[in-house]
A and B are shown apart, each in its own frame.
Chain A
Amino acid sequence: MISVRNLRVVRRHRTLLDDVSFNLNAGEITALIGPNGAGKSTLMTALVGLCRLTGGTIDLQGRPIAAFGKRELARVMAYVAQKQDFLWDLEVQEVIGLGAASSTERDLTISSLGLDEFAQRRIKTLSGGERSRVMLARALAAQTPLLLADEPAADLDIRQQRSSMRLLRNEVRHRNLGVLVVLHELNLAFTFADRVLLLHHGRLVLDTDAETAAHSPELDRVFGERFTRTTIDGRTVVFPIETTA
């Protein structure tokens, strides 16, 4: 669905992304991981057309992304930004309704995310985690074939993190949704993603399936940690080894 080739973004003589190439496919969750400052958010904003490219191309459904109008792009791709801004104190159902393809989709999404109890509450009365779930719901309700989410699990407790990722996985399976999600929690990526992209200093150093990524020594090198690996329910998860000096 998305084809990124030799993407390069330079700002104020600083290279934020360099020679990044990958494909994003329908029907799978692709996790984008990497340390702080690796260029994950820059890559996400480039993909949604909010960042001027220094070089390279981004094609969406075979067309350059720059050729899409804002409205047309919004029909293909929904985006959950890292920073959420709520100037107007709307009700949760109003927020989700603004992104929803229809009122039926709005109500279905509210139910499927277990947001019924919040539906008539004002957004500013919710916690950070609850707001994150509302914005994920808003994006899902748009029923676009593609969803990009920048750290949607950041403010969530572990139960809500897993619940949100399960929901994404269900959407991927049931309606062939393509998902690119930035995750800081590595084991969420290895548990729920089909593919993992590892970004380091603006360069893509790993583009592989989740199992291979979990075993890759690149992980230890990029994060500067020694990880131990173990397999739970057929999925490999990693833990940093705490060494005593």
Chain B
Amino acid sequence: MRPGALTLSLAILLGMAGVFVGATLGVTSVGPAQLIKALTSVDPSSSDIVVAWRLQRVAGAFLVGACLAIAGVIYQGAFRNPLAEPFLLGSSAGGALGAAFAIFLPLPFLLDASLPTLAFAGAWGATLLVLLVSRMARINDAAGMLLVGIAFAALLGAARSTATLVLSDESVSLRAMISWTLGGLQTPTGATLALFALLTLTCLAASLMLARNLDILGFGEPTAATMGVDVGRFLPLSLTVAAFATGIGVAWGGVLGFVGLIIPHAVRWWIGERHAPLLVHSALVAGGFLAALDGISRVLVAPSEIPLGLLTALIGAPFFIVLLVKRYR
């Protein structure tokens, strides 16, 4: 289907439907009327507060999904590899290392913002390291940079495991660390949510500025270069934007694999592969997908929660295998 007003409206509807499902599901299911009451009540009851908290969490899930999808689309375009994942550049491992430090050695001046701040810094720093090493080694091609990313992911993963072993007090912090690495959504407060939304929109705007060149890169680097794309500059720039989106997603969502792979692929089948509409539609659909999945994670084994990262892996890994088989058969 050609992307246009109809597909965009459908994507918005899917996003909203996902948020609705996510907001209504929980240990106590709520209906639309109670959702509206919780949002508008001047004198909220305790149940209203719980629902409002849930709405903030679902909104956070929506933004995490959108960020991971944006990052996924950019990584796939920049690496010229439809199987590329937001975490391939070591961002995930960097974010997880940052989170490990936040959990084991929280910075007092950051208070509650310690985990998202350090996770973001880790994800961001890991990608910067990859870019720096690539530049020092004069690696400009996508495959070479991908290998540098994989090497850093292994290194940072080992560093996180070491930190976990050395710094863990074998009780609360270890559980928190495991929960985070399995994908533990943070519930942003009102002000944080507004900042989170602003950062997500910034990522989307920046990614849309890359869209045309990502389309052109599909013709191969030599043709792209003769069509005015300075590949040596464009790759680090696009990967920086992708790392920014990943960093935000990792900071609030923990390690959530495959979201940036499944949704962009599904949207490619639906509206085609031009990057500008792909980015917008993927962000909306991935947001709805993760919001709905967050709700499902709360009811599957209620009153306990299944870590969201397990659900995304359970859905995403088979999807990835199917894609691999289709690609190489």
Contacts and interface: CB of A to CB of B under 8 A. Distances in A.
A126 interface: no
A89 B228 contact: no
Contacts of A71: 228, 230
A90 B273 contact: yes
B215 A50 contact: no
B216 A77 contact: no
Given A83-B220, A85-B218, A98-B212, A90 B226 contact: no
Nearest to B216: A98
Interface in B191-237: 212, 215-220, 222-223, 225-230
A89 B223 CA distance: 16
Nearest to B233: A70
A75 B228 CA distance: 8
Interface residues of A, number: 28
Contact of A70 (B212, B219, B230): B230
Interface residues of B, number: 20
A74 B228 contact: yes
B223 A94 contact: no
B218 A81 contact: no
Contacts of B272: 89-91, 122
A50 B222 contact: yes
A142 to B, nearest CB: 8
Nearest to A83: B220
Interface string B271-295: 0111000000000000000000000
B226 to A, nearest CB: 4
A87 interface: yes
Contact of B225 (A70, A78, A90): A70
A34 interface: no
Contacts of B218: 85-88, 90
A142 B217 CA distance: 17
A34 B212 CA distance: 37
Most chain A CB neighbours (cut-off 10 Å) among B82, B217, B228: B228
Nearest to A122: B272
A77 B226 contact: yes
B267 to A, nearest CB: 13
A42 B328 CA distance: 32
Given A85-B223, A88-B215, A98-B215, A73 B228 contact: yes
B227 A99 contact: yes
A74 B215 CA distance: 16
A85 B222 CA distance: 10
Closest 6 CB pairs of A and B: A74-B228, A85-B220, A88-B218, A79-B226, A87-B218, A88-B273
Interface of B: 80, 82, 212, 215-220, 222-223, 225-230, 272-274
27 contacts: A45-B222, A70-B228, A70-B229, A71-B228, A71-B230, A74-B226, A74-B227, A74-B228, A75-B228, A77-B226, A78-B226, A81-B222, A84-B219, A85-B219, A85-B220, A85-B223, A87-B218, A87-B219, A87-B220, A88-B218, A89-B272, A89-B273, A90-B273, A94-B215, A94-B274, A98-B215, A142-B227
